[in-house]
């Protein structure tokens, strides 16, 4: 298993480590529920060094990305981030990722940990195929570390370690700054449903950054957070996870990523997606909550009137809402809120109902969600 530069620190903190996409990662330090609450009410620090960073540079960087990304990057400004998907010819999702525009000829693509190698191969072969000779694709995952600082106290904590004013930094925007003397790229973004930042810095300095942040945030209640709480936080906020809600045979139209597709521009997968839009998709991802006692888990089957109609992709008990929720694929006719369905839990059918996503929305969210990402 690969280790992040923070591995020894996790062990020293007493974290429980698991294999996640080939990386030894902390699943929890003190407990998933406690860590979840810490992030929602104060702040949490996450080791995200396992995620992939791919540099795309050169005069044709934009052309290549515009060809492979579902999202139209034309109006992206320098410093802006765009959430996007890479789609194959059939319109299936190869990965969901964020595209940072650092300069007109320089982008950084941030990938899921387990997808990084295939994303890299995909970009390289599309480069060859499309004759985008004037672009350089570099895997920077090993040189770059990434920390996520999330929660209502995130800005106050980070502000104590940088001279740059963080207030003007908008949602889904990034800027370079020194944090605790470490040259970093900081974006206001994340995967928890809270305000917060994703911080990128050289691997050799990421340990310093981790220590300084934990220290600076200790009075404000900052805690290290494992992947267990990262999963409950993202699910509660209605966010999807590659490998659960998405794979190469799932189209963005079937999940909640229809808005990431721009069919006005040419990209790989466009024709298939146009067809799909015309015909309509047969299955769709919905959010649900349990009506009766029980916790639905990934892989459990969904029934209506005793007939199997779909499958749960993610499901657990989420601590802030204090209930069992999940995401599931069901036929498009069963997606209206309040639609009842049964989830088969250990040979027993337990009632659930469709609810609108996200399950959880923080109160001040409009401040950031006014900005179209």
Partner 1 sequence: MSKTNPTDRKYSKEHEWVRDQGDDTVTLGITDYAQEMLTDIVFVELPAIGKKVKQMEPVAVVESVKSVSDVFAPVSGEVIEVNLILENRPELINQDAFGEGWIAKMKMNKPEELKGLMDAAGYEAMIREEKH
CA distance 282 to 175: 42
> Which two three-digit tokens encode residue 236?
């509660």
Tell which positions 30-59 bind partner 1, by CB under 8 A. Answer: 31-34
Considering beta carbons, is residue 27 or 199 the nearer one to partner 1?
27
Cis peptide before 367 (omega within 30 of 0): no
DSSP helix/strand/coil, 54: strand
Considering beta carbons, is residue 336 or 347 the nearer one to partner 1?
347
| Residue span 252-291 as binding mask against partner 1, x where in contact by CB under 8 A, dash where not | ----------------------------------------
Q: Which of 316, 325, 326, 360 binds partner 1 (CB under 8 A)?
A: 316
Considering beta carbons, is residue 10 or 284 the nearer one to partner 1?
10
Contact 26, 147 (CB under 8 A): no
Measured between alpha carbons, how far apart are the two ends of the chain, in Å? 35
Q: How far is the CB of 94 from partner 1 (least distance, A)?
A: 28
Q: How far is the CB of 250 from partner 1 (least distance, A)?
A: 24
Considering beta carbons, is residue 176 or 351 the nearer one to partner 1?
351
Length of the chain: 373
Q: How far is the CB of 360 from partner 1 (least distance, A)?
A: 15
Q: How far is the CB of 324 from partner 1 (least distance, A)?
A: 7
Q: Which of 193, 196, 294, 358 binds partner 1 (CB under 8 A)?
A: 294
Residue linked to tokens 């839009």:
277
Tell which positions 16-35 bind partner 1, by CB under 8 A. Answer: 27-28, 31-34
| 64 interacts with partner 1 by CB under 8 A | no
Considering beta carbons, is residue 91 or 315 the nearer one to partner 1?
315
Tell which positions 204-243 bind partner 1, by CB under 8 A. Answer: 228, 231-232
For the chain, strand residue ranges (E) read 2-3, 16-20, 23-28, 43-47, 52-57, 81-87, 93-103, 106-111, 136-139, 144-150, 174-179, 182-188, 196-202, 222-225, 283-290, 301-304, 307-318, 323-331, 340-345, 348-355
CA distance 87 to 246: 11
Q: Which of 52, 217, 319, 358 binds partner 1 (CB under 8 A)?
A: 319
Q: Which of 75, 278, 293, 366 binds partner 1 (CB under 8 A)?
A: 293
Tell which positions 324-343 bind partner 1, by CB under 8 A. Answer: 324
CA distance 149 to 165: 16
> Which two three-digit tokens encode residue 82?
């765009």
CA distance 117 to 112: 10
Considering beta carbons, is residue 27 or 144 the nearer one to partner 1?
27
CA distance 148 to 103: 23
Q: Interhelix angle for 227-236 vs 32-41, to 10°?
A: 60
CA distance 234 to 260: 19
Region of 100-108, 171-179, 304-312, 313-321 interacting with partner 1 (CB under 8 A)? 313-321
Q: Which of 244, 297, 353, 365 binds partner 1 (CB under 8 A)?
A: 297
Contact 290, 324 (CB under 8 A): yes
Region of 172-180, 199-207, 246-254, 293-301 interacting with partner 1 (CB under 8 A)? 293-301
| 315 interacts with partner 1 by CB under 8 A | no
Please count the residues of this chain forming the interface with partner 1, following the rule CB under 8 A: 18
Binding residues (CB under 8 A) for partner 1: these are 27-28, 31-34, 228, 231-232, 293-295, 297, 316-317, 319, 324, 346
């Amino acid at each position: 298993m690969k280790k992040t530069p923070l591995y020894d620190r996790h062990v020293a903190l007493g974290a429980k480590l698991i294999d996640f996409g080939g990386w030894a990662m902390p699943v929890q330090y003190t407990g998933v529920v406690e860590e979840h609450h810490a992030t929602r009410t104060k702040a949490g620090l996450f080791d995200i060094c396992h995620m992939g960073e791919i540099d795309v540079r050169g005069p044709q960087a934009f052309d290549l990305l515009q060809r492979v990304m579902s999202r139209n990057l034309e109006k992206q400004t320098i410093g802006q981030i765009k959430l996007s998907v890479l789609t194959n010819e059939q319109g299936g999702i190869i990965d969901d990722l964020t595209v940072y525009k650092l300069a007109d000829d320089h982008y950084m693509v941030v990938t899921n940990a387990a997808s990084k190698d295939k994303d890299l191969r995909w970009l390289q072969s599309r480069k060859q195929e499309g004759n985008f000779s004037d672009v350089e694709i570099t895997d920077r995952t090993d040189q770059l570390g990434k920390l996520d600082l999330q929660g209502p106290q995130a800005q106050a904590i980070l502000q104590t370690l940088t001279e740059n004013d963080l207030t003007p930094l908008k949602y889904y925007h990034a800027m370079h700054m020194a944090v605790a003397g470490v040259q970093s790229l900081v974006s206001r973004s994340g995967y928890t449903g809270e305000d917060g930042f994703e911080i990128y810095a050289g691997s050799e300095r990421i340990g310093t950054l981790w220590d300084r942040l934990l220290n600076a945030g200790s009075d404000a209640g900052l805690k290290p957070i494992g992947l267990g709480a990262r999963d409950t936080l993202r699910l509660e906020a209605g966010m999807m996870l590659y490998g659960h809600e998405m794979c190469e045979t799932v189209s963005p139209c079937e999940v909640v990523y229809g808005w990431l597709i721009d069919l006005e521009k040419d990209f790989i997968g466009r024709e298939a997606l146009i067809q799909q839009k015309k015909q309509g998709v047969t299955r769709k991802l919905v959010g649900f909550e349990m009506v009766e006692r029980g916790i639905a888990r990934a892989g459990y089957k969904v029934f209506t009137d005793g007939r199997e109609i779909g499958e749960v992709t993610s499901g657990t008990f989420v601590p802030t809402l204090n209930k069992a929720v999940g995401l599931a694929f069901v036929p498009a006719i069963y997606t209206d809120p309040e639609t009842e369905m049964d989830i088969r839990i250990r040979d027993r059918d337990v009632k659930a109902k469709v609810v609108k996503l996200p399950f959880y929305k923080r109160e001040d969210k409009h401040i950031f969600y006014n900005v179209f990402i």
